A = this chain, B = another copy of it.
Amino acid sequence: MVEPQPTNVILVGRKDVMNYVLAAIRLFNDGASEVVFKARGTNICKAVDAAENLRNLFMKDVIVKKVNIYSEELERNGKKRRVSAIEITLAKPSQEKQ
């Protein structure tokens, strides 16, 4: 895949959901055409919430371009553990056309 612009990734973790919404707004306002929310495990719902909050409350022209789910293997204390993860790619069509 050829990506015309560097992708802007926001890792969704333990902070309140609005932190991630604000981070995305900032990236879009700085001219990003795409913003990606990434999250693992129980933070997956927070990533979906952040994307939906952004689209419903703040930037109604932003679309969900792609949603990926996958698994990651993490090692902790020598034990391997599979963790589900999500990647939500949001795009602002008006800026993409430029």
Where the two chains meet, the residues of A that have a C-beta atom closer than 8 Å to any C-beta of B are 41-45, 48-49, 51-52, 55-56, 64, 67-71, 82, 84-86, 88
Copies of this chain, count: 2
The reply to whether A67 and B70 form a contact with Cβ atoms under 8 Å apart is no
Contacts of A71 in B (CB 8 A): 52, 55-56
Instruction: Give the interface centre of A43, A55, A71 by most chain B CB atoms within 10 Å.
Output: A71
- Looking at the assembled complex, report how far the CB atom of A20 sits from the nearest CB atom of chain B, in whole angstroms: 13
Contacts of A56 in B (CB 8 A): 71, 82
- Looking at the assembled complex, report how far the CB atom of A19 sits from the nearest CB atom of chain B, in whole angstroms: 16
A-B pairs, 8 with minimum CB distance: A67-B67, A44-B45, A52-B84, A48-B84, A52-B71, A49-B84, A48-B69, A45-B45
